[in-house]
Amino acid sequence: MATAGAGQWSSRFAFIMASVGFAVGLGNIWRFPYVTGENGGAAFVLIYIACAFGIGVPILMAELLIGRRGQASPPHAMANVAQQSGRSRQWQWVGGMGLLAAYTIEIVYAAIVGWVLWYLFKAVTTGFADIDGAAANAEFAAVLDDNLGMVFWTLMGLAITGLIIYSGIKDGIERAVSVMMPLMFLLLLGLAGYNVFAGGFGEAVAWLFTPDFSKIGPATVLAAIGQAFFSIGVAMGGMMIYGSYLPRTFSITGSVFLVVIVDTGVAILAGLVIFPAVFNNGLDPAAGPGLIFQTLPVAFAQMPGGHLFSILFFLMLSVAGITSMVGLVECVNAWLGDRFEMPRHHSALLVVGSIAVLSVLSIMSYNVMSEFSLGGKNFNDAMDYFSNQIMLPVGGFLIAVFAGWIMKREAARDELTSLNATGFKIWYFLIRFVVPPALLIIFVMGVSE
């Protein structure tokens, strides 16, 4: 049962890089700027920041302290902490929900990371030269029709992820994130700086930072709560397993605040990378997921230095995708090691191999299986609904209840020693009385849509 806790982060820097890498994913990079612009710009950003610190920070602290206290994969960590508090080990099922959510998300996410890697290859080889809107749409449609191509690039992404996991905590995850995340930050800063001179930067700044309080209402607040919860990456098992590798000398509170600040900063920077190109070329900023694969290639074709810009952009996205996959896979991998006393090399191959097989269902849902439905949804939409609308908010709610009402107050206090008495009282109040109702609202709104 010592598999998960057998390794530790060698530095706070490595932990922060791994945590931010897990939190910052593809959806976070395109969705945050888009939702910000649609919901009042700077006014939404202020509400989002309040939600991120009022809801995201307390529950992220709870996940990390449970992981460190339990010194195991999420199910065993929850069981261990519950037992220490004189409660039933059946709380392990809450940790299991996080693993199931992570595994389900990864099946669909792996195929999308495959698209990003494929587009990185396209950027390197063609740079989207002379492509227009119709050609970009046709190219993306051709990608969705090419099952062999999607399988190949999905397997490439999983192979990179598997190699990192296979190599262990220090030689794999730490080494990878310590290189990949600073690279991603440099690419973001460089691309944003390029946009200052390339055009459209002023419109992007206005889109993101001009407050429009007329757009602020209950729906905006709900959007901010949802964005704060999902973008930080809680209730997916990744943060809990990363917490189990966290030495007691590292401050959970300081680390969490830094993760949330960097996560938010990356999302805003991503907006300053994506939207100047969109506005400068008269494209649709509300294109959603299609923005990356159908809209931006047109911008790359039209801008000076677009070939280099496209390569760096998809390289940055590839890093974001891979580092998120590492966190999703690692929590399941650690559980296999805990549960079956399986060597990391074997468990890594088993987890990545099974995801590779199931990701074929995700890939085929874009074409030959598009008519196959589960509860009226195709395979991908069903997996997305199950994980994002049900498992994550319910799991997050139960983690908050566990931290606030089930585990002993003294145990939480012992893990959050860097907080003064007032700071701990604020965290304890939020995790008991603010976070659970907020996550219940996310769940009810999600299932009633």
- 4-448 sits in which CATH class? mainly alpha
User: Which tokens go with 69?
Assistant: 């206290």
Within its chain, how far is the Cα of 296 from the centroid?
Answer: 22
Cα dihedral 431→443→104→220 (10° resolution):
-90
> Mean per-residue pLDDT for 187-191?
94
Most confident region among 76-85, 230-239, 302-311 by mean pLDDT:
76-85
Task: Tell me: pLDDT of 449 over 80.
Answer: no
Lowest-confidence pick of 10-14, 360-364, 432-436, 443-447: 443-447
CA dist 371 and 283 (Å) reads: 31
Mean pLDDT, the chain, integer: 92
Contact 331, 118 (CB under 8 A): no
> Mean per-residue pLDDT for 9-17?
95
pLDDT of 5 reads 42
Contact 242, 12 (CB under 8 A): no
Any residues with CB less than 8 A from the CB of 214 and at least 6 apart, and which? 40
66-110, pLDDT tens digit by residue?
Answer: 999 999 999 999 999 999 999 999 999 999 999 999 999 999 999
Contact 4, 76 (CB under 8 A): yes
Task: Tell me: pLDDT of 303 over 70.
Answer: yes
CA dist 70 and 313 (Å) reads: 39
Query: Which string of DSSP letters, residue by residue, matches 5-58?
Result: GG---S-HHHHHHHHHHHH--HHHHHHHHHHHHHTTTHHHHHHHHHHIIIIIHH
CA dist 449 and 273 (Å) reads: 31
CA dist 379 and 383 (Å) reads: 6
Residue 138 Cα distances to 153, 294, 297, angstroms: 19, 9, 12
Task: Tell me: pLDDT of 216 over 90.
Answer: no
Nearest to 280 by CA among 200, 202, 201, 208: 200
> Mean per-residue pLDDT for 406-432?
97
Within its chain, how far is the Cα of 72 from the centroid?
Answer: 22
pLDDT of 222 reads 86
Q: 265-283 burial, b if ≥16 CB within 10 A, otherwise e? A: ebbbbbbbbbbbbbbbbeb
Q: What is the 3-state secondary structure (H, E, C) of 50-79?
A: HHHHHHHHHHHHHHHHHHHHHCCCHHHHHH
The backbone torsions φ and ψ at residue 374, rounded to the nearest 5 degrees and listed phi first, read -120, 110
Query: Which string of DSSP letters, residue by residue, matches 386-428?
Result: IIIIIIHHHHHHHHHHIIIIIS-HHHHHHH-TTS-HHHHHHHH
Residue, of 446 and 55, whose pLDDT is higher: 55
Contacts made by residues 169-175, CB under 8 angstroms, sequence distance 24+: 169/7, 169/8, 169/9, 169/245, 170/7, 170/10, 173/14, 173/18, 173/326, 173/330, 174/9, 174/10, 174/11, 174/14, 174/18
Any residues with CB less than 8 A from the CB of 369 and at least 6 apart, and which? 361, 378, 379
pLDDT of 73 reads 96
Task: Tell me: pLDDT of 1 over 70.
Answer: no
Which residues are 374's β-sheet partners? 377
CA dist 443 and 449 (Å) reads: 10
Task: Tell me: pLDDT of 2 over 70.
Answer: no
User: Which tokens go with 386?
Assistant: 């199950």
Task: Tell me: pLDDT of 446 over 80.
Answer: yes
